[in-house]
Amino acid sequence: MRSLPIFVDLSKGRIVVVGATPAASSKLETLRRRGADIAWHPVTLGREEAERRFSLRYDHVFRIVEGEPAVRDLAGAAAVISAVGDETDCRIAEYARGLGIPVNVVDLPELSSFQFPAIVDRDEVVVAVGTGGASPVLARRLRERIEALLPSRLGALAEFLGHQRARLRGHGSPVASDRRFWEEIIDGPVAQQVMEGDLHAAEQLFDARKRAGAKQQIGSVALVGAGPGDPDLLTLKALRALQDADVIYYDALVSPEILSLARRDARKVLVGKRNGQSSEDQEEINRLLIAEARNGSRVVRLKGGDPFIFGRGGEELAALQAAGIAVTVVPGITAALGCAAQAELPLTFRDEATRLVVLTGHLAKKDSAIDWSGLDDPQTTVVIYMGLTSAAAVRDGLIAAGRSPATPAAVLARGTCPDSFSVAGPLRDLATLASQAGDGPALIVVGDVVARSKPWRALVENAAQIIAEAA
């Protein structure tokens, strides 16, 4: 979407509305509620009929101008909205563009330089939802959901906070620009009193907190799991941590979509590696986390999947605790769970797969690093992280341990992401399957339950089709 939401101060200019269609009436109603200075050209209606159809229920400036507007009628306007429903809209759009005035032609985004959003109105708090003109109905549905989430007195809270902020600035108070001070006010009893309608109690609590002044900033670290890639799989607790963070140290597997959910002014530092590329070593990452926290920052260490599943979260936790840093762990959906779910692959199944073993492929190439003999049980599902380059060693180790070469196996690459890829086949073909996956990250899953997965079903259907065609 190549558009930037902005808010227009309606006290700074005239809004010209053209047309008497239901769409034009809807825009007029919205503008009048916001106190806009409006010049309305009904075009198809005379003044008396226009006044009858659209009673002047407000005291704001509102002028009805008969006839189609000419270029001179648009000059000096802050914005133009046209909803006539015929070729008039094209002329109005051309006039506005010629004058350099933002124009919206309702339901015709190709003629518009801005879109009219669906609005959630809480007085001083306004939430705008747009779809770039692609689907106004979707924007309205989203607005309805947001309406249900936002308290009715949210505007009163914004007005209270604006008043208090102006007071503090006028007195030169240092807490006027202290973000953490305002977060404490918004998240604490002051805001609660405002929302309950007791402004007197809110004033008293605010003044008491103001007299305490700025508090010493105490740093902390959150070890956060970002999940397997799909931003919708991020937990609510992880989202809150991202939006509170001053600095985020993130791994290479964390998607840009997840990083975009962080506070806009948070500093983001890449410290992870991928495909053998160089990165900060673990000792240096630990040092950075400790230093940032001691400097008073709220730090997020953001990792793909879960911090405690091959994410070295345990090492970082130990280092932070030894340094006396306050640390919390926010678990994430690990890749095994997310990727298997997308592939419709149950990692366990009653009377069929009663044991789950999770390994890292980095050890598979090392002699005696993995005791494959313990994985020969056909009721054991084996999941190998980071196993693309060691697929042949995984195959050889499992078969040598006694696992049947015909055991179903799957390679799940970039699971839950838009470019996800999955393929399945017998264990004997695992190296070939891995070569089809492209760039990682990828998981290998070996076990009878793979035969229940979507990629295995696709394999069977494809084989059946080939046999049918040959017959």
Question: Mind telling me the catalytic residues?
Answer: 251, 273
Q: How many CA atoms lie within 13 A of 340 on its CB side?
A: 26
Query: How far is the C-alpha of 186 from the C-alpha of 11, rounded, in Å?
Result: 29
Query: How far is the C-alpha of 342 from the C-alpha of 156, rounded, in Å?
Result: 44
Please state the length of the chain. 471
Query: How far is the C-alpha of 126 from the C-alpha of 210, rounded, in Å?
Result: 28
Q: Which residues of 20-55 are buried (b: 16+ CB within 10 A; e: fewer)?
A: bbebbbebbebbbeeebbbbbbbbebeeeebeeebe
Task: Decide if 74 contacts 101 (C-beta within 8 A).
Answer: yes
Query: What is the full DSSP assignment across 86-98?
Result: STHHHHHHHHHHH
Tokens of 323: 């340094």
What residues contact residue 211 under an 8 Å CB cut-off, 6+ apart?
none
Could you tell me whether strands 380-385 and 442-446 are parallel, antiparallel, or unpaired per DSSP bridges? antiparallel
